[in-house]
Every structure is written in structure tokens, then in C-alpha cells.
Structure 1
């Protein structure tokens, strides 16, 4: 089974030009020391990411690696070290895909294994590619969804990111369990109503929904108390992190 990891990096102002170059030229910078799999560096929107205005200090690194042991190899690569070493804030999520609907650029990307125990924290990825003529309708629906996520007790973390600031939006959220996530997704809420409208009015040319088991969490958890509380209640402890962004288990 492949290994899925999402990392979120934040940079000081003086490092913004370098981060932009890394994102724009990531394919050129990926050398022979990169392991096989999907590795994508994407920008985050401002605020909590749910915005067409980019936050030039915040980035998401997604990787789906063919071999679970390849994460250590990736962290030694020139590309990863360039991404990690300049950052001031990091979070790293190690995930197991459980279920998936839809595709990302026409590809399934995530190999899912099936249902998980209900007593584990969950992570959810959504991704939408917006039909250009429906972009205004789509983005009008986003503020209500953002407020709902922020106010939902079971959601410990959420952020938005994407490859294109206007026509793609991916969201990553962490939940204390399936009940909270399902209440957000399926009750009569802004998210639920926007989903119905998007299907009825063809807002999207492509969409994806993936549910993950959250296996491991590393990084600067002191900055995210709700996230730390969920992981602490499940006896998951973040390892120490060195300056390169690599980690060593406690």
C-alpha cells in the first residue's frame, strides 16, 4: 500500500521569493534523489486558505509514495530540504486512505483500503476544479462553508490550498471522529446546500472526496491546541523536529 502525507509549511516574510520559486519550478528541481510517486507543492489561500487571494507565506506539500519507506528518502532530497529548511512553522500528517470518490486531474491518485475503526481521528480531503463560467457562484458559497468549519466543535484543523487560485480549491480538515464529519457534510448546512447547487448547476468540471485515517502527526503542535488535544486524547505524540524538517521519534 502507498503512503500518503500532507505537510503544511509557513515561511517568514523574507523567504517568500524562494518559496514562490520552489512552487513554480518544482518539476525542474526534483532530481534523481526523489522517490517514485506523486509529489506536489501547492499554495494556500489567505486566512485559513478559503480565499482566491493567496497567502504567499503558506504552502502544502502532498505526496503519495509508492513505498512507505520512501518518506525518509524524500526528506533527504534536495527538493524537500529546500522546502523545509526555510520554514518557520510545520505540520506533517501521515494518513491511510479509507474511501474515495472522484479524481484529481483525471487520476485516482489514492489507493484506498476500506473502512476504519470509529474511535480514530479522521482527515478529509476535498478538491474541486471549477468550471470557469461558474467561478463566481462557487466562490460565493465558500464563506459560509468556512464559517461552518470554524464553528464545528469536532473539526480540529482546516485549511484550503490549490494549484490555481481561482479555478481549483482543495480543502484538508481533521475531525475527532466520523460523527462530527458526517454531521458537517450531510446535514442541512452551507456545505450540504453548496454541494447540491454545484451538482444541479454544473459548477465543477471535476471533484474529489477522500477520507483518511490519521496515523501520525508531527510538527509545531503548540500553535494548534485543538489539533493537539485530539491527538493527545488518542495517545499520539509528535516527535521532535530538527532544523531540516526531518524528525526523530521520542
Structure 2
């Protein structure tokens, strides 16, 4: 079987719905742990703007989970109560299903992703996760806005967001690109390339993880559409 990772995003509207979502960062932990077949999982908040800021966004939350295969992932996300409660209260939701193709590093002391020996043919998703050393936090967050602006201007990026378990200290960046060449070009140049070099030289992170995924499927919408629709149009042309 090939491991599948689901990353579900939920946008909440009225303040009551947002307050409920905030409480679930703690209260939903028990329900997540009891879901059959679930492996590694995390409940995350997000940052304002495109997510790459230290200011929390009270409207957007995410759930990441690993599953033994795609069919199981789809079934659990459709039927399990914790996901249904999130969808019932959210104004909009979108889940992307991912097949790990490479991973190095750790998240909460474990290696959560099991890469398959497949060559991605189509959109490529990239996830980076880091625990920032407390003494580096101000320096780290002065770099991130520059990276965010470059990502936002990149015509190739299909989807981008910053999420995390704990504001300021735990940071996850997630983006989807049309192909590996686009990812490589972005990663090696400009503010992102400078930040990566600083990470290596100055030891910013106590723990870090870098992973890439092939996009297997999706459900729902974000901003009223599929974030992958540009890819679909290209394939149809």
C-alpha cells in the first residue's frame, strides 16, 4: 500500500464559528486519536495574509493526517465525525490528497511520511516544517515576509499557505507547483535561497522537515474554486 497524506483546510466566517474552531485545537485531539486507520496527525492554525506572517488568522484552520491508502483517506475524511463537524461549521473547505515522494527530517520527533518510489507527473506539493529556536524568532520573522512576497509574485505557484501548531515557534509552509522545475527555481533564488543558507549557517531550527508530494486528488473548493484548476485547463488544452 502507498501512504496518503491528507491536508484539509477550513475557512470559518462568523465569530462564533471562529471561536469554536479555536477551541478544537485542544478539544479535537481526542477525537482525532480515535479515528480508525489514522497515523500521524496535526491540528494547525494559520497566519494572516497568505499565511506567512506571525499574526494568527482566526478564520483558517487545517488538519493534516496520514492514511494507509487513498480510498481509506477519502472514506475517513468524508465519514468521521471530527471532519464532519469542521465542515458543518466552516464557510468553505478544501482537502488535497498527497502521495509522498521524498522526505527528510523529523516532526515531533518522528518521520511521519513514507515516500513511494514514484516519479511525479503533474503538480508537485512541497511542505516544510520547523521548530524555530526561541532566540532566533525575531530574525526568522524578519525573513518570512520577503519570502512571502516572492511566492505571491511567482506566476507558477498554484496554492500557498503558512500554518502551524504553535504561533511563532512552529511553522509549516505548504505550496503546490505545476512541476519540479518551478519548485527548484524558486527554492534556489532570491530571499528563499538566502534564508535557506542562513538556516544552515546559523542553526535557526531545533527540528526541521522537508517533504515533497505528488497530488493524488482533492475535494471541496478554496476561494470558490479548485486551486488546481489551472492545471486542469492546461491538461485539456
TM-score, length basis structure 1: 0.87
Answer whether contact 1:120 1:234 (CA < 8 A) is retained: no
Q: Which residue of 1 aligns with 2:6?
A: 5
- Secondary structure at the residue paired with 1:233? helix
Q: Which residue of 2 aligns with 1:151?
A: 153
Q: CA deviation at 1:30?
A: 3.6
Q: CA deviation at 1:223?
A: 3.1
Higher relative contact order structure (alpha carbons within 8 Å, sequence separation ≥ 6): 2
Q: Which residue of 1 aligns with 2:200?
A: 199
Q: Which residue of 2 aligns with 1:99?
A: 102
When the two structures are aligned, how many residues end up with a matched partner? Answer: 233
- Secondary structure at the residue paired with 1:149? helix
Answer whether contact 2:97 2:215 (CA < 8 A) is retained: yes
Answer whether contact 1:95 1:213 (CA < 8 A) is retained: yes
**Alpha carbons of structure 1 residues 121 and 53: separation in structure 2 relative to 1, 3 Å:** same
Q: Which residue of 2 aligns with 1:45?
A: 47
Q: CA deviation at 1:33?
A: 4.7
Answer whether contact 1:48 1:159 (CA < 8 A) is retained: yes
Q: Which residue of 2 aligns with 1:220?
A: 221
Answer whether contact 1:34 1:74 (CA < 8 A) is retained: no
Q: Which residue of 2 aligns with 1:112?
A: 115
User: Does 2:85 correspond to 1:82?
Assistant: yes
Q: CA deviation at 1:34?
A: 4.0
CA RMSD of aligned residues (A): 1.8
Q: Which residue of 2 aligns with 1:186?
A: 188
Answer whether contact 1:96 1:112 (CA < 8 A) is retained: yes
TM-score, length basis structure 2: 0.91
Structure 1, unmatched stretches of 5+, are 236-250
Answer whether contact 1:124 1:210 (CA < 8 A) is retained: yes
- Secondary structure at the residue paired with 1:69? helix
Q: CA deviation at 1:212?
A: 0.5
Q: CA deviation at 1:115?
A: 4.5
